[in-house]
């Protein structure tokens, strides 16, 4: 069965200019997880899709996802 692409709408807070983008994204996603807005089993978009949708470099997304993964917040 083919994977279905789903729209991923997440209201991210404004970025603090003094915080690196990957750190800001990591914190925003971590907060969404801790506050129950991203529930267990929720699929995140691919790093390429996420970067395209939100206008980040893919490396920024990869760094944030890797940090979340290393701390056990997401699986991949």
pLDDT tens for 4-22 read 444 456 778 888 889 999 9
Q: Rounded to whole angstroms, how far apart are CA atoms 52 and 18? A: 23
List, in sequence order, the alpha helices (H) in 5-57.
Answer: 21-34, 47-54
* Alpha-carbon radius of gyration of the chain: 12
Q: What is the pLDDT of residues 11-68, one digit of tens each?
A: 788 888 899 999 999 999 999 999 988 888 888 888 999 899 888 899 999 999 999 9
Q: How far apart are alpha carbons 34 and 24 in whole angstroms?
A: 15
């Amino acid at each position: 069965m083919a994977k279905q692409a789903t729209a991923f709408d997440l209201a991210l807070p404004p970025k603090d200019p003094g915080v690196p983008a990957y750190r800001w994204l990591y914190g925003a996603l971590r907060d969404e997880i801790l506050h129950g807005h991203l529930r267990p089993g929720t699929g995140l978009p691919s790093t390429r899709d996420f970067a395209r949708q939100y206008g980040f470099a893919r490396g920024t997304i990869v760094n944030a996802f890797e940090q979340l993964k290393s701390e056990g917040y997401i699986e991949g």
